[in-house]
Structure 1
Amino acid sequence: MSGTPEEPVHPDPPESRTADPALTERHAQLRDYHAAFRVAQLAMAVVDEDGLVVAANDSFGSLLGSEPTALHAQAASDLVDLASDGRTWHAYREVLRGRRSRFRCTRRLKHADGRSLWAEVTVAPVPDSRRVLLSIADISDRRELQARLRHLQMHDPVTRLPNRALFFERLSAALEASALDAAEGVTAGSPAPGETITSSYESYGYGRTGRIGLCYLDLDGFKAVNDTLGHRVGDRLLAAVAARLTECADNDGYTRSGGHLVARLGGDEFAILVEDSTGTEQLADLARSVLNALQQPFDLGGQRLSVSASIGVVERSGHGTTATALMQAADTTLYWAKADGKARWTLFDPERNAHRMTRQALSSTLRPAVERGEFTLEYQPLVELADGAVRGVEALVRWNHPQFGSLAPNRFIGIAEEDGSIVELGRWVLRTACRQARQWQKDRPRERPIFVSVNVAVRQVWDSDLVADVAGILAETGLAPHLLQLELTESAVMGSAGRPLQALQALSDMGVRIAIDDFGTGYSNLAYLSRLPVSVLKLDGSFVRGFQDEEHANPADELIVEALVQLAHRLGLTVTAECVETAGQASRLRRIGCDTGQGWLYSRAVAPDRIAELIGAEPLRV
Structure 2
Amino acid sequence: MGMVSMGQDITQRVQTEALLRESEERLRTVLQNMPVMMSAFDNQGTLIVWNRECERVTGYLASEIVGNPNALELLYPNPEYRAEIVAQWQNSNHHYRDWECQITCKDGNLKIVAWSSIASDFPIPNWAFWDIGVDVTHRKQIEDQLRYSAYYDALTGLPNRTFFLEQLQHAINKQQTEERELFAVLFLDLDRFEMVKYTFGHAIANQLLRLATERLRECLSPTDILSRVGTDQFAILLNPVENTAEVTHRTECIHQAISLPFHLNNQDIFSSVSIGIALSSTGYTHPEDYLQAADSAMHQAKTSYSTRHVLFDPKIHEILLARLQMETELRRAIEQDAFEVYYQPIVCLQAGIISGFEALVRWNHPTWGRVSPVEFIPVAEEARLISLIDRWVLQAACHQLRKWQQDFPHLDYLTMSVNISGQQLMQLGLLERLDGVLQETGISGNQLKLEITESVIMENTASETVLLNQLRTLGIQLSIDDFGTGYSSLGRLHQLPIDTLKIDRSFVNRMETDSEGYEIVRAILTLAHSLEMDAIAEGIETSQQLVQLRELGCNYGQGYFFSPPMNSTEAAALLAANRRW
1:600 maps onto 2:560 in alignment = yes
Q: TM-score, normalised by structure 1?
A: 0.48
What residue number does 2:538 align with? Answer: 578
Distance 1:465 1:242 in 2: 53
What residue number does 1:381 align with? Answer: 345
1:423 maps onto 2:387 in alignment = yes
Secondary structure of 1:463's partner? coil
CA change 1:313–1:366 in 2 (3 A) is farther
1:554 maps onto 2:485 in alignment = no
- Output the amino acid matched with 2:313: L
- Alpha-carbon shift at residue 391 of structure 1 (Å): 0.6
TM-superposition CA deviations, 1:153-212 (whole Å, max 9, x none): xxxxxxxxxxxxxxxxxxxxxxxxxxxxxxxxxxxxxxxxxxxxxxxxxxxxxxxxxxxx
- Which of 262, 267, 279 is the equivalent residue of 1:311? 279
Distance 1:473 1:431 in 2: 6
Secondary structure of 1:446's partner? helix
Cα pair 2:296 2:317 within 8 Å, conserved: no
CA change 1:528–1:442 in 2 (3 A) is same
What residue number does 2:461 align with? Answer: 497
- Alpha-carbon shift at residue 509 of structure 1 (Å): 1.7
CA change 1:604–1:227 in 2 (3 A) is closer
- Which of 412, 423, 434 is the equivalent residue of 1:459? 423
- Alpha-carbon shift at residue 617 of structure 1 (Å): 3.1
What residue number does 2:176 align with? Answer: 245
Distance 1:523 1:467 in 2: 26
1:615 maps onto 2:575 in alignment = yes
Distance 1:234 1:355 in 2: 25
Give identity over the alignment, percent: 32
Secondary structure of 2:345's partner? strand
1:536 maps onto 2:504 in alignment = no
Distance 1:444 1:375 in 2: 26
**Greater mean deviation of Cα atoms: 583-592 or 233-242:** 233-242
Runs of 5+ consecutive residues of structure 2 not aligned to the other structure? 1-150, 182-224, 227-238, 247-275, 302-306
Cα pair 1:515 1:537 within 8 Å, conserved: yes
- Output the amino acid matched with 1:395: A
What residue number does 1:68 align with? Answer: none
CA change 1:594–1:329 in 2 (3 A) is farther
CA change 1:475–1:556 in 2 (3 A) is same
CA change 1:223–1:348 in 2 (3 A) is farther
- Output the amino acid matched with 1:576: I
- Which of 475, 483, 492 is the equivalent residue of 1:519? 483
Q: How does 1:327-346 map to 2 (within 5 A)?
A: 333-337=293-297, 346=312
Cα pair 2:277 2:297 within 8 Å, conserved: no
TM-superposition CA deviations, 1:23-76 (whole Å, max 9, x none): xxxxxxxxxxxxxxxxxxxxxxxxxxxxxxxxxxxxxxxxxxxxxxxxxxxxxx
Aligned length: 341
CA change 1:528–1:345 in 2 (3 A) is closer
Q: Rg bigger for which structure?
A: 1
- Alpha-carbon shift at residue 338 of structure 1 (Å): 5.4
Cα pair 1:312 1:337 within 8 Å, conserved: no
Distance 1:618 1:430 in 2: 25
CA change 1:309–1:381 in 2 (3 A) is closer
What residue number does 2:26 align with? Answer: none
Secondary structure of 1:412's partner? helix
- Alpha-carbon shift at residue 434 of structure 1 (Å): 0.1
- Which of 448, 451, 461 is the equivalent residue of 1:487? 451
Runs of 5+ consecutive residues of structure 1 not aligned to the other structure? 1-221, 251-266, 269-288, 297-307, 316-322
- Alpha-carbon shift at residue 538 of structure 1 (Å): 0.2
CA change 1:603–1:290 in 2 (3 A) is same
- Alpha-carbon shift at residue 557 of structure 1 (Å): 1.9
- Aligned-residue RMSD, C-alpha: 4.3
Q: How does 1:47-86 map to 2 (within 5 A)?
A: none
Distance 2:164 2:349 in 1: 70
Distance 1:534 1:293 in 2: 49
CA change 1:564–1:241 in 2 (3 A) is same
**Greater mean deviation of Cα atoms: 436-445 or 365-374:** 365-374
What residue number does 1:411 align with? Answer: 375
- Alpha-carbon shift at residue 400 of structure 1 (Å): 2.2
Cα pair 2:500 2:536 within 8 Å, conserved: yes
Distance 2:518 2:394 in 1: 35
